[in-house]
Structure 1
Amino acid sequence: MNHIQKLLLLTALLSSSVAFGQLTEDPEDRRDQGKDPLKTQTVDGQPLPFSQRLRFGGGISGLRFGNPTSIGVSPVIGYQATEHLIVGVGGTYTYTRYKGITNTGATVPIETYNQYGGRGFVMYEALPAIIPNLYLHGEVESTTVQAKADQTGQTASYSLTAPLVGLTYSQPISRRFGVNLTALYNLNDNLIARSIYGSPFIIRIAFF
């Protein structure tokens, strides 16, 4: 076998190896080819397993120190239904405490709020060729607030179901994780909603 034949044989073997690697590689490896990783299928067109389409994360909300003191958490589970559609569910919990000053000048707790609820949401990437990673966002959130007067022990509770619509911009970090900035408008804006959200316009930052 002369040198030219050896060179052709080596080239054929290398080409076969590269082709096989492209068929079996993880979608994340598409970045080496200058392409974004696929979200719902492998390079050869096979659908990804259910577990590889799930996205986990959440965020911290309502973080305030002083008067009032407040902190909230909001875990999220999302599912990549198609290349451009994400559906998911999430939970919320926020603890808030207000303080007052007595006649003697002492600072004491006067009201404590426990706010919790859940939501279901849909995100659709409407114009991926023009504005990638910008999603139309719709969700329904149900919230319950339990209020307690710390000095008297009296309690009260109220609930609200709010349909929210708006936009989410997602900055991908990996195929199944990103930073999400969401701007929503509450279609059920009323006095109870104002006591929960403070405004019909809601801004969130979440990681999933």
Structure 2
Amino acid sequence: MNHIQKLLFITALLTSSMAFGQLTEDPDDRRSQGKDPLRTQTPEGRPLPFGQRLRFGGGINGFRFGNPFSLGVSPVIAYQATEHLIVGVGGTYNYTRYKAYTNTNTTVPYRTLNQYGGRGFLMYEFIPSILPNLYLHGEVESTTINDKFEQPGLPAPATYSLTSPLLGLTYSQPISRRFGVNLTALYNLNYTNSVAASLIYSSPFVLRLSFF
């Protein structure tokens, strides 16, 4: 009896695995019909598993050689909630270092900026029949920056924080069903002339190139 039970269990496991394989490979089959693959369901209307709706990626931002030297990374995890709605979270880290130099008889000292934060965002494809892959984009980003001068007698290290709501548009060029190149243009609704805003954003307009 034990052997029969084991045989039945293995048969059921193989059958369920085959069914799962059929479920997860269907969306891309639409390409052979000249149609874009579905994002959240199979052509038969069955919902895709959670893992197949996830997107992973991010971007490199603030890349600059010379003085200052700057480099940042911004990983992203996004979830295809519906055929036209994407929700996601992301993180940001940016390192900037100014070397000492003299400008108009003024010596600019060594300075290091460490910027880090996180954000949550929504992207909604609002006119897919007219212009597919164009999304309304809204997010809230919280950022902290540590500002440190590295010579004695200068201002003490300071920390600034800013939470900003941003609104704009994202155009996504799909590479596959779960990956694309995204160009985003946002406007910072909380931008002021404060030290924090000028160090973190430098402008109320935010442009990004990302991959997910």
Report the secondary structure of 1:41's partner residue. coil
The residue that corresponds to 1:93 in the other structure is: 93
1:175 to 154, 170, 177: 177
Please state if 1:68 is matched with 2:68.
Answer: yes
Please state if 1:196 is matched with 2:200.
Answer: yes
CA pair 122-23 structure 1, distance change in 2 beyond 3 A:
closer
The residue that corresponds to 2:30 in the other structure is: 30
CA pair 147-29 structure 1, distance change in 2 beyond 3 A:
same
- Cα deviations across residues 130-171 of structure 1 (Å, max 9, x unaligned)? 010000000000000001111138311010000000000000
The residue that corresponds to 2:116 in the other structure is: 116
The residue that corresponds to 1:56 in the other structure is: 56
The residue that corresponds to 2:157 in the other structure is: 155
Distance in 1 (alpha carbons) for counterparts of 2:92 and 2:170: 18
Retained in 2: the 8 A contact 1:39–1:80?
yes
Letter in 1 for 2:159: S
Q: Specify the structure having the higher radius of gyration (Cα).
A: 1
Distance in 1 (alpha carbons) for counterparts of 2:23 and 2:110: 64
Q: C-alpha displacement at 1:28, in angstroms?
A: 1.2
Retained in 1: the 8 A contact 2:24–2:48?
no
Letter in 2 for 1:49: P
**Structure 1 consecutive aligned stretches of length 4 or more whose deviation exceeds 3 Å:** 22-25
Distance in 1 (alpha carbons) for counterparts of 2:24 and 2:49: 14
Letter in 1 for 2:206: I
Q: How many residues align?
A: 183
Please state if 1:143 is matched with 2:147.
Answer: no
CA RMSD of aligned residues (A): 1.8
Report the secondary structure of 2:47's partner residue. coil
- Cα deviations across residues 159-189 of structure 1 (Å, max 9, x unaligned)? 0000000000000000000000000000001
The residue that corresponds to 1:44 in the other structure is: 44
Letter in 2 for 1:138: G
Query: TM-score, length-normalised on structure 1?
Result: 0.84
Query: TM-score, length-normalised on structure 2?
Result: 0.82
Retained in 2: the 8 A contact 1:23–1:44?
no
Report the secondary structure of 1:157's partner residue. strand
- What runs of 5+ residues in structure 2 fail to find an aligned partner? 1-21
CA pair 23-86 structure 1, distance change in 2 beyond 3 A:
closer
Distance in 2 (alpha carbons) for counterparts of 1:23 and 1:169: 29
Distance in 1 (alpha carbons) for counterparts of 2:24 and 2:189: 47
Distance in 1 (alpha carbons) for counterparts of 2:197 and 2:149: 21
Letter in 1 for 2:130: I
Please state if 1:127 is matched with 2:127.
Answer: yes
The residue that corresponds to 1:16 in the other structure is: none
- What runs of 5+ residues in structure 1 fail to find an aligned partner? 1-21
Q: C-alpha displacement at 1:109, in angstroms?
A: 6.3
